[in-house]
Chains A and B, each alone.
Chain A
Amino acid sequence: MEHYTMNLNLKVWRQKNSASKGEFKLYRVENISSEMSFLEMFDVLNEQLIRDGEDPVTFDHDCREGICGACSMYINGKPHGPWQANTTCQLHMRAFKDGDTVVVEPWRANAFPVIKDLMVDRTAFDRIIQAGGYISVNTGNAVDGNALPIEKDKADASFAAAMCIGCGACVAACKNSSAMLFLSAKVSHLALLPQGAPERKSRVMNMVAQMDKEGFGSCTNTGACEATCPKEISISNIARLNQEYLMAGLTAE
């Protein structure tokens, strides 16, 4: 792999807090190595801003290896940037070339208010989980782990849904700001397992109700969520969610 360095023009969303109005600011960073990660490039920018006596750009990040779901930048019109199945922290600078202009914004959705700059409040996701995204089993109540065999296919499908990192890119990508992909991933994870069966109906009803309450939009099947999801959560989960919802509704009467 050939390494190279580049100079970039950055257009970054700056917003002091949730109450203030934000705006784009222009910055220039130089001698950026193609081996850096996108967030390391932001580290360089921030060191530069601190040196110049300005306020560094605030953004969420923690694991920097694509698993915690904290990082959340909307880069050149795409959540998490240009690479497929990728998070912001895993994006590397070899995706860009010398002289490029890169536009960076926060997730934009009513349910995700901006806290500062590129950092948003995603606690709505936690409240959706609180509404029923669990199996009600107290510590100490469990039977032996092998007492209940589960078909490998089912377990694998459940795992594929459980891989969601709760980043919210699906919401940011959707023109309706729908949280259906996130919600359907959780409903599928639990609905595919026998342990999840007893609460199947109440879970889906309550979680959907909470999602609506949080102000997420409705799903019109555009598929933007699936295309942007860093963990490749399948849109077929939304079909399963709709089924579960319908079933729960029919039998609730």
Chain B
Amino acid sequence: MLNAKIPAGPLESKWTDYKGHCKLVNPANKRKLEVIIVGTGLAGASAAASLGELGYKVKAFCFQDSPRRAHSIAAQGGINAAKNYQNDGDSVFRLFYDTIKGGDYRAREANVHRLAEVSTNIIDQCVAQGVPFAREYGGLLSNRSFGGTQVQRTFYAAGQTGQQLLIGAYQALERQVALGNVKMYSRHEMLEIVKIDGKARGIIARDLVSGELERHFGHAVLLCSGGYGNVFYLSTNAMGSNVTAAWKAHRQGALFSNPCFTQIHPTCIPVSGDHQSKLTLMSESLRNDGRIWVPKKQNDTRKATDIPEEERDYYLERRYPAFGNLVPRDVASRAAKERCDAGYGVGSSKQAVYLDYASAIERYGRTEANKQGRNNVSLEEIIAMGKEVVKEKYGNLFDMYEKITGENPYEVPMRIYPAVHYTMGGLWVDYELQTTVPGLYALGEANFSDHGANRLGASALMQGLADGYFVIPYTIGNYLADEIYSKAIATDHPAFAEAEKAVSDRINQLMNIRGKQSVESFHKRLGKIMWDKCGMARNEEGLKQAIQEIQALKKEFWSDVRIPGEINGMNPELDKANRVADFIELGELMCIDALNRNESCGGHFREESQTEEGEAMRDDANFMYVAAWEFKGEHQWELHKEALNYDVIKPSQRNYK
């Protein structure tokens, strides 16, 4: 049985009670305890800085040349916090409730409540660090609204919130580096967990510049290595984002939870051709004002501006009159797919729908004219004024769209299509963020903990920073307090030698295949299988096929991949091969998980489980659990279940009609 170690007592006092009773490590002992942190995005950098400040000896690793470049840097929209600065009825409870409901009742109440509680501290901490959040003229912090909520609780820094938060955490981290509390290893990739007597005691990392393998000891190991969306090849994730760290942990005994829960974001710039290497998100905030439509006629080849109003199908407004263009991400994504599959898609690929700002431009223009007290304004002038307003609100996004597509979105509607964006699944962790391997923790997107089957916008940044700044500094003490007698283990211990040999053998094996096909070509093929059969809609037959195809692909990869270059030196193709090999194994597990979960919930849509109108249907009687998979050997996993108990919130079917 999985024990999540949720503290007893009423929901709202669990965390306070935990903090009041968990074990502590005194300052002198902290200096003797070493902590390894893999990943320095929001979760890892905030953890490394905070643990360094506390006095632990920290070693932090990232594969980029600097921690400032982690994937977190790309987050656009904002970060949630239950500050209720707008006096619009927000509270810790409401943020907790929205997150549980948004996650379609597949997240743990105790974790989510803690997240909502510490959310307010995050904003304070970031402001103190000098994060330049957007402000009102009175000098106070500004908020915007985001999907799935009725209050304004999202803090932001224009369209660069992730950048500003990460720079804040990065600076705090670099301060600890300067003080000697944290040692930073950039351009390093963790390739194995070292376990001694069942506990995580270190890692094997590869110096990506020299190609050398290194052994590092730690009394505890924290994985803050991000999400695995790139299993689909095309996603909005950075090119380097990968599952390798989490996957190594999984193969060493850490359970992997809900791998099939992936978030497909409805508003991304569509694929333009086979050369496409990644997809670009257009912030969710665009749906506040844009209207989404396709032509009423199939295969309509007219230009968007030539299609008259009555021949347009505003399908979200038609299907979901109550929420219209603002339905949650999963619902909007599936509706776009349904229209395109039925032959109504637009653009050269026919895999796109329009996001149209024409009516918003006119509406803002009229408001502006009214504000200026002018009637008798020509339509042209109104439109010019409207464009100015839209520019101020969304200018940077419109510019980004134009740079990529070469089209001017002020004149023609944008073309958008859903794309893989975030992974809710990840390493199973208990209330303390510890995996099923003692001493091994997972933070940020790498764990499964807080978002259930669907994540709300602006909640990933909140979770990463909550884990790193405010949760792990307490929970790790509870573990390390019992470790003060464990001396650092020398890295000539046989367990280190063995782990290093395993890594080195695998690298040699990969390099010696000397086949014909590039790593990239395998990654693309894996992505296509995943997107077609384990993407926005899944069914039994497709998933079974996908599993077969992935198994065959794995065989082919290990017998025909071609990796140029050398082992001893900078070799990005080798780095990529290591990652793609793990993605292939993960892909199989995702399909197995999707096949097992014969219900539709959040981002997971099983075609067998829908209403007559094609809406998702949850099955609480059979699936109200966290699926936690144990690795048993190649192509073999055992399912463990963690029952979800809703003591405070009553689950209901989501309805946006």
Contact = CB atoms under 8 A, between A and B. Distances in A.
Contact of A195 (B49, B130, B164, B170): B130
Interface residues of A, number: 80
A64 B66 contact: no
A60 B83 CA distance: 39
B171 A40 contact: no
A47 to B, nearest CB: 6
Contact of B132 (A16, A47, A131, A193): A193
Contacts of A220: none
Contact of A55 (B136, B174, B277, B564): B564
Interface in A18-42: 33-37, 39-40
Contacts, number: 220
Contacts of A92: 403-404, 406
Contact of A94 (B69, B124, B167, B406): B406
A141 B128 contact: yes
A148 B129 CA distance: 13
B7 interface: no
A248 interface: no
Contacts of B643: none
Contact of A129 (B135, B171, B272): B171
A63 B238 contact: yes
Chain A, interface SS category: loop
B275 A43 contact: yes
A247 interface: no
A146 B65 contact: no
B172 A134 contact: yes
A121 B139 CA distance: 40
A250 interface: no
B518 interface: yes
B69 A62 contact: yes
Contact of B141 (A56, A146, A158): A146
A47 B163 contact: no
Interface string B141-166: 10000000000000001101011100
A57 to B, nearest CB: 10
B136 A64 contact: no
Contacts of B89: none
Contacts of A144: 124
Given A55-B564, A138-B53, A195-B130, A119 B570 contact: yes
Contacts of B49: 139
Interface stretch (A74-82, A159-167, A172-180, A234-242): A159-167
Interface in B392-429: 400, 403-407
A56 B167 CA distance: 32
A69 B170 CA distance: 14
A137 interface: yes
Given A70-B64, A115-B570, A145 B123 contact: yes
Nearest to B157: A159
B190 to A, nearest CB: 17
A117 B73 CA distance: 26
Contact of A64 (B127, B278, B564): B278
A60 B67 CA distance: 14
Nearest to B162: A67
Contacts of B407: 1
A185 to B, nearest CB: 11
Contact of A139 (B53, B66, B130): B53
Contact of B130 (A51, A67, A135, A163): A135
B132 A145 contact: no
Contact of B403 (A60, A86, A155, A165): A86
B171 A135 contact: yes
B98 interface: no
A62 B238 contact: yes
Contacts of B569: 16-17, 116
B520 A39 contact: no
A116 B208 CA distance: 12
Contact of B64 (A62, A133, A135): A62
B277 A64 contact: yes
Contact of A131 (B67, B178, B473): B178
10 nearest CB pairs, A to B: A149-B139, A134-B171, A142-B128, A159-B132, A142-B124, A1-B406, A130-B178, A139-B50, A145-B127, A68-B69
Interface of B: 46, 49-50, 53, 64-71, 73-74, 83, 85, 121, 123-130, 132-141, 157-158, 160, 162-164, 167, 170-172, 174-175, 177-178, 184, 186, 209, 238-240, 272-273, 275-278, 280, 400, 403-407, 469-470, 473, 518, 520-521, 562, 564-565, 569-570, 572-573
30 contacts: A17-B569, A35-B272, A35-B273, A40-B277, A43-B275, A47-B521, A49-B564, A55-B564, A60-B65, A61-B239, A62-B239, A64-B239, A65-B400, A70-B69, A116-B570, A123-B186, A130-B178, A137-B172, A140-B121, A140-B470, A141-B128, A142-B124, A143-B128, A146-B83, A149-B139, A162-B132, A162-B167, A166-B68, A193-B132, A195-B127
Given A33-B273, A119-B570, A139-B50, 6 more contacts: A56-B564, A129-B170, A146-B141, A148-B127, A159-B164, A162-B157
Interface of A: 1, 16-17, 33-37, 39-40, 43-44, 47, 49-51, 53-56, 58, 60-70, 83, 86, 90, 92, 94, 115-116, 119, 121-123, 125-126, 129-131, 133-146, 148-152, 155-156, 158-159, 162-163, 165-166, 189-190, 193, 195-196
